């Protein structure tokens, strides 16, 4: 189980590294296919320091020497988990088999990957803003407003407005404050779970100890004398 977890983490790290360097590698390949043969192009990518991507092309380059270009490319296509890398390799294989000019196809592929990357980064930034807005609201804004409301109610001379005793007023306030504490804690916990799910976080319990923050904010806010 531990081995499978480590393997999954390594594969995820390699896929991210491949995706990071893939557009540059494709642009490099597009600039070379017009004057260099395919074997040299593969070797150039292998030697370009693209991390996991260069390691994969190093495997392909070594395989080409023993198994030929077509067989090595097909093996790499079947081996990779990256959709973008598979598309890149398929274009190279098609160009090798047909002799067609693949320069424009490579440029379009690299441009498409970069465009998707920009959109994903924008979505990630938007999600991050939403996530922390939810957390900050539940941890500070909501408990502070509730605390201020309690403070206002405490300062109002309710006996002059309604025929109620001081003891009844005290009991009503005590009940309201208890309910507010429960609401502040529940609102924070529900909000943080939602924010964690929104941010694709697996550890949903890491915010649990911080429930003390909205409780403390509410306590301080209700203690401020306004009236």
CB atoms within 10 A of CB 46: 20
pLDDT at res. 145 = 94
> pTM of the full predicted structure?
0.67
pLDDT at res. 142 = 94
Place of tokens 């320069």: 103
How far is residue 184's CA from residue 192's CA, in Å, rounded to a whole number?
A: 12
pLDDT at res. 6 = 39
Could you tell me which of 101, 50, 92, 45 has the C-alpha nearest to residue 73?
A: 92
pLDDT at res. 7 = 43
pLDDT at res. 170 = 76
How far is residue 54's CA from residue 47's CA, in Å, rounded to a whole number?
A: 7
- Spatial CB neighbours of 214, under 8 Å, sequence gap ≥ 6: 138, 139, 140, 142, 143, 184, 185, 187, 188
pLDDT at res. 46 = 95
Output the tens digit of pLDDT for each of the chain's 227 residues. 433 433 443 456 788 889 899 999 999 999 999 899 999 999 999 999 999 999 999 999 999 999 999 999 999 999 998 899 999 999 999 999 999 999 999 999 999 999 998 898 899 899 999 999 999 999 999 999 999 998 888 777 655 555 556 667 677 788 889 999 999 999 999 999 998 888 888 787 888 889 999 999 999 999 887 75
Domain edges within the chain: 2-101, 123-222
């Amino acid at each position: 189980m531990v081995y499978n977890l480590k393997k999954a983490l390594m594969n995820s790290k390699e896929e991210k590294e491949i995706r990071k360097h893939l557009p540059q590698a494709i642009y490099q390949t597009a600039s070379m296919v017009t004057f260099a043969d395919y074997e040299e192009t593969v070797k150039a990518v292998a030697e370009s320091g693209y991390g996991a991507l260069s390691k994969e092309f190093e495997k392909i380059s070594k395989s080409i020497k023993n198994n030929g270009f077509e067989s090595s490319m097909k093996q790499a296509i079947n081996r990779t988990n990256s959709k973008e890398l598979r598309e890149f390799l398929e274009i190279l294989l098609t160009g090798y088999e047909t002799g067609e000019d693949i320069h424009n196809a490579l440029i379009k592929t690299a441009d498409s990957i970069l465009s998707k990357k920009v959109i994903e980064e924008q979505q990630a930034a938007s999600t991050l803003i939403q996530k922390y807005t939810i957390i900050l609201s539940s941890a500070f804004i909501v408990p502070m407003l509730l605390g201020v409301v309690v403070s206002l109610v405490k300062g109002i001379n309710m006996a002059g407005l309604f025929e109620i005793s001081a003891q009844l007023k005290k009991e009503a306030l005590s009940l309201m404050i208890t309910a507010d504490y429960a609401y502040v804690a529940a609102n924070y916990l529900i909000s943080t779970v939602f924010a964690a799910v929104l941010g694709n976080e697996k550890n949903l319990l890491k915010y649990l100890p911080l429930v003390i923050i909205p409780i403390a904010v509410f306590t301080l806010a209700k203690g401020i004398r306004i009236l």
